[in-house]
Amino acid sequence: MADLKRILTTSSVAAAGAGFAFATMSIIADVQVADLVLGNTGWIAVVVAAIFCILASWCFGELSGMFPTSAGVRVYIQQAFNEKMAIPLSAAYIFTVVAASGAEAYVFGSVFVALIPGGPSIWFYVILGFAIAGALNYFGIEIASGVQNLMAMIMFFFLVTVSLVALFKFGVRFENWYNPIGNGAGAEGFITAIALSVFLFAGFEWVTALSEETREQSVISRGMIGSILILCVVYALLNAALVSAVPKDVLMGRVVWTDGLNYGARPHVVFIKIVFGSYELLGLICVGILSFLASMTSFNAGILTTSRFLYAMSRDKTMPRYLSKIHMEYFTPYAAIITLCAVALVSAILLTLLGGFDSFTYAVAGAEIMMYVLAALSVIKLRSKMKTRERPFRIPLYPLTAIFTAIFFSLLFVMVFADQKVEVQAGFVIFISIIAVMVLHTIFVIPWLRRK
């Protein structure tokens, strides 16, 4: 059987790690973060979340150095605990995020339907998006990673530039830009905002699944930190700029804008329109480019990383055998790539029929936080279980950082789903349902696969 190519560099890994979060869904999540806190203080929640995500990245860095495999998180949990725990949780984590790609596709399509009245239906744009991302990944990791580097760089400079322009043009809308718990607001909203801000960094740890395609193992740990820092700069600035340019009620869709439209599902559209002002045509062109790049960057990064995880699970006989097929010319896991595109498309169909794309934000945040807790616990467990195992990267200030990471994200998980809002509880149901499906897969399907 052909093997994967080892060609990825630190910049490629950082671009892939930041890629999924460069999505229109992340802009919606950034708006939700701003709405949870006072004034212009949402950026603080983003920065705090980034700091804790760096702690989590240290855990993943140590684990990926110990086990440089495309199976990533499944192997970490299995080595620390057991296979019956590892398979359903790691697979549920991956499929929760893949399902969220359906929500991203829904937003992507709805933007272009609004921009081009009388044009193709939303399904044209959804299928087009997945087809482009699937093709990029099918025809070789050099193409997929090269395009990812370019798109991530353009997204970074565009979002930073438009945010700075908005802040220069409108100033800071609120006097309070430094105290998220002042004026009797309490800490609950701020803590929830930090928890939701984790979604803005979703996917930085997926790059551990690229361990079999990097030139050297240290690339993974450096790339994760690089992606977190990139996302922190972008979304902290954007958070402050969004609420400075546009009223929160308009961004959240509680109130229509002066043009009579509701922008709750596409807050970046009204933001760009307001920032560009009289240059409306240029603004609309930028909205289209931003929406396209945001979704393509997210789709491409998601398929690039999760396809390797699915490929590894199939290779280990925990997923159907055909998913481990490698293209003999392009050296890509083409069967896993095609399957993931199909799953994401089904997710988009269900979302369109049932509604409620906001719920996926909370489902993904919950899945990410759960995995950060498990990574920290795995590091602690393996430090005593495999004392002599080589560790190219070691967590600084162990065991304090690992223990603190596990406790902090455990509390944050509770905070995410403590809210009784419909979209939050729906997100929890989505998350638990996917875990339940993967538990059934572990009990009934995997034994059958291994007997074949």
Query: Which backbone phi and psi does 8 adopt, to 5 degrees?
Result: -75, 140
Give the model confidence (pLDDT) of 125-146 as tens digits.
888 888 888 888 888 766 666 7
- Looking up tokens 């929500």, which residue turns up? 103
In this structure, is residue 29 part of a structural domain?
yes
Tell me, yes or no, whether 132 lies in a domain.
yes
Looking at the domain assignment, is residue 129 inside a domain? yes
In a domain, 2, yes or no: no
- pLDDT at site 237: 94
Is residue 188 in a domain?
yes
Positions in the chain whose pLDDT score sits under 70: 1-17, 20, 70, 141-145, 148, 174, 176, 182-186, 209-218, 280, 352-358, 452
Q: What is the pLDDT of residue 7?
A: 54
Q: What range does the domain containing 340 cover?
A: 10-451
Position 1 scores a pLDDT of 43
pTM of the model: 0.82
Q: What is d(CA 137, CA 9) in angstroms, rounded to the nearest whole number?
A: 17
The CATH number of whichever domain residue 244 belongs to comes to: 1.20.1740.10
pLDDT at 16: 67
Establish if 315 belongs to a structural domain: yes
* pLDDT single digits (tens) 30-80: 998 988 888 888 899 999 999 999 999 999 989 988 888 767 788 899 998
C-alpha distances out from residue 208 to 40, 57, 66, 365, Å: 35, 10, 11, 19
What dihedral angle (degrees, nearest 10) is formed by the CA atoms of 243, 244, 246, 249? 40
Q: Is residue 1 part of a domain?
A: no
How would you write the chain as a 3-class SS string? CCCCCCCECHHHHHHHHHHCCCCHHHHHHHHHHHHHCCCCCHHHHHHHHHHHHHHHHHHHHHHHHHCCCCCCHHHHHHHHCCHHHHHHHHHHHHHHHHHHHHHHHHHHHHHHHHHCCCCCCHHHHHHHHHHHHHHHHHCCHHHHHHHHHHHHHHHHHHHHHHHHHHHHHHCCCCCCCCCCCCCCCCCHHHHHHHHHHHHHHCCHHHHHHHHHHECCCHHHHHHHHHHHHHHHHHHHHHHHHHHHHCCHHHHCCCCCCCCCCCCCCCHHHHHHHHHHCCCHHHHHHHHHHHHHHHHHHHHHHHHHHHHHHHHHHHHCCCCCHHHHCCCCCCCCCHHHHHHHHHHHHHHHHHHHHHCCCHHHHHHHHHHHHHHHHHHHHHHHHHHHHCCCCCCCCCCCCCCHHHHHHHHHHHHHHHHHHHCCCHHHHHHHHHHHHHHHHHHHHHHHHHHHHHHC
Q: Is residue 4 included in any domain, yes or no? A: no
Q: How many domains does the chain have?
A: 1
Please report the pLDDT score of residue 183 as a whole number: 66
Q: What local confidence, expressed as pLDDT, does residue 211 receive?
A: 65
